[in-house]
Chains A and B, each alone.
Chain A
């Protein structure tokens, strides 16, 4: 059974610092990995999707890397802003076509 772990569970950083969020998964046989943002009481917004054959994806200040063999992905957010405060979830698509989610990294960017 695929297990997804996100570390740290919560973190606070001053505005302007770079954010590094980690996601690990136990079964490396994945189709893709997706990072989402979730605001309190809201649904999920897709940020980046990395196919299993890719090493990284970039969108603006966001960069996500994938090391499938070691079961890890990292989301980097450059020059953090208060508007980046949210919970960030990673999810892997497994062989049974299902998504396995982590519990999220809860981020607070302090102005």
Chain B
């Protein structure tokens, strides 16, 4: 089945540094990938939609200069948390929709997430 790989699975960084998270679709091409953020016992909140070859679409309240998204190829999207602060500590998850001809819609497949801790 469709596999989405996310790396790293966890990262600890100091305040003020930047962290890059990678999201890869391993066995399919994804023109669109999604980045979510999840706090403990809370819903996933969509941060932005990553579009291959064009600018990402950010949700209201998400700072595009802080959360830089690059979707350079059909199998890779990256999220960079710039000048990280402790309040950015969270669980970040990416997802992609595998194309499935014949279906009006296809399931969304998720990476295993990245636990970011900013000290």
Contact = CB atoms under 8 A, between A and B. Distances in A.
Contact of A89 (B44, B104, B105, B109): B44
Contacts of A51: 104-105
B105 A31 contact: yes
Interface string B90-119: 010101000000001111111111010000
B108 A34 contact: yes
Most buried by A among B4, B44, B46, B110: B44
B2 to A, nearest CB: 9
Category for how many chain A residues contact B:
20 to 34
Nearest to A87: B41
27 contacts: A4-B43, A34-B108, A41-B113, A42-B112, A43-B4, A43-B93, A43-B112, A43-B113, A44-B95, A45-B110, A46-B107, A46-B108, A49-B105, A49-B106, A51-B105, A89-B44, A91-B108, A93-B105, A98-B46, A99-B34, A99-B44, A99-B46, A101-B44, A103-B41, A103-B42, A103-B43, A106-B41
Interface string A67-111: 000000000000000000000010101000011111110100000
Interface residues of B, number: 23
Given A36-B110, A51-B104, A93-B105, A44 B43 contact: no
B43 A101 contact: yes
Label chain B's interface by main secondary structure. Answer: strand
B6 interface: yes
A43 to B, nearest CB: 4
Interface in B12-53: 34, 41-46
Given A34-B107, A43-B112, 7 more contacts: A41-B91, A41-B115, A42-B112, A49-B105, A49-B106, A100-B43, A102-B43
A28 interface: no
Interface in B69-108: 91, 93, 95, 104-108
